[in-house]
Amino acid sequence: MYREELTLALTNPVSCHLITWGDDLSTGMREAAELGYRACETFTHLALQYEDRPNEFADMLASHGLVLSALYGGGRFSDPSRADHVVEYNTRVARFLATLGVDRIVFGPGGPRSGPSSSQDLKQMARTIDEAARRTADLGVLACVHPHLGTEIQDRGELDAIMELTDERYVHFCPDTAHLTAAHVDVVEVIRTYGSRIQYMHLKDLTPEEPDPAAFANFSGTEALPIFCELGLGTIEFEPIMAAVRETGYTGWLTVEIDWSTSTPYQSLTQCRDFVQDRLGLPIS
pLDDT tens digits for range 228-253: 999 999 999 999 999 999 999 999 99
- Asked if the model's pLDDT at residue 96 lies above 60, the reply is yes
Q: What is the share, in percent, of the chain residues with pLDDT greater than 70? A: 96
Say what the pLDDT of residue 10 is: 60
> Domain 2-278 in CATH: superfamily?
Divalent-metal-dependent TIM barrel enzymes (3.20.20.150)
Q: Averaged over 129-153, what is the pLDDT?
A: 98
Q: Which of the two residues, 219 and 107, has the higher pLDDT score?
A: 107
- Asked if the model's pLDDT at residue 158 lies above 80, the reply is yes
- Asked if the model's pLDDT at residue 284 lies above 70, the reply is yes
Q: What is the pLDDT of residues 178-222, one digit of tens each?
A: 999 999 999 999 999 999 999 999 999 999 999 998 999 888 776
Q: What is the pLDDT of residues 7-64, one digit of tens each?
A: 445 679 999 999 999 999 999 999 999 999 999 999 999 999 999 999 999 999 999 9
The domain ranges of the chain are 2-278
The model scores a pTM over 0.85:
yes
Write the CA distances from 27 to 132, 230, 266, integer angstroms.
33, 19, 10
For residue 244, which amino acid is it? Answer: A
How buried is 82 (Cβ within 10 angstroms: 0-12 exposed, 13-18 middle, 19+ buried)?
Answer: middle
